[in-house]
Amino acid sequence: MTKTSAHPAIRMAKMQDAEALKTCIDRAYQPVKSALPDLPDVSAGVAEDIEAHNVFVAELEGRIAGCAILSLTDATAHLMNIAVDPAAKGKGLGRLLMEHVEEFARAGGAQEIHLATHVAMPGNVALYSHLGWSETSRKGNKVLMKKTF
């Protein structure tokens, strides 16, 4: 994807992106944080994720506006987190990140991709279902979903 000021660009995260990624993730989850007291610290360990996983950054107008963290092991991928800064909502970044992650996972040999979302976030479940994901189970506050390629 070509980077311009008006169009989003997706690239691999670098270690120097860690603080901006943490801020982006925290801003993305802020609207639901107070309603979900059992929500874990979703931005914890970003630097470690950059070292150990595939972390993608969505840039818009020269700043980090979204990200996705993917673990890829053999034939299975796990979407560990996907977040879009509320200031960039409605610009298609979430969809672009999801398409990029799925394409990367397929190219890496994954036959399916998994994610977990919160039971109190039914909008996420509906969105992922619309994008071809299916619910596999519920465990406590988690809704587990997968997409087969």
- Domains of the chain (ranges; CATH) run 9-148 (3.40.630.30)
* Cβ neighbours around 68 below 10 Å, total: 26
pTM above 0.85, yes or no: yes
Cα–Cα distance, 54 to 132 (Å, whole number): 22
Cα–Cα distance, 85 to 28 (Å, whole number): 5
Rounded to the nearest angstrom, the gap between the alpha carbon of residue 33 and the centroid of all alpha carbons in its chain is: 17
Cα–Cα distance, 117 to 138 (Å, whole number): 10
Closest among 74, 88, 68 to 6, alpha carbons compared: 88
Express as a percent the part of the chain with pLDDT over 90. 79
Contacts within 8 Å (CB) and 24+ apart, 29-34? 29/83, 30/86, 31/86, 32/118, 32/120, 32/121
Give the tens place of pLDDT for each residue, 6-42: 678 999 999 999 999 999 999 999 988 888 888 888 9
Q: Counting beta carbons within 10 angstroms of the beta carbon of residue 97, is it exposed (0 to 12), middle (13 to 18) or buried (19 or more)?
A: buried
Give the tens place of pLDDT for each residue, 62-86: 899 999 999 999 899 999 999 999 9
Contact (Cβ atoms closer than 8 angstroms) between residue 103 and residue 49: no
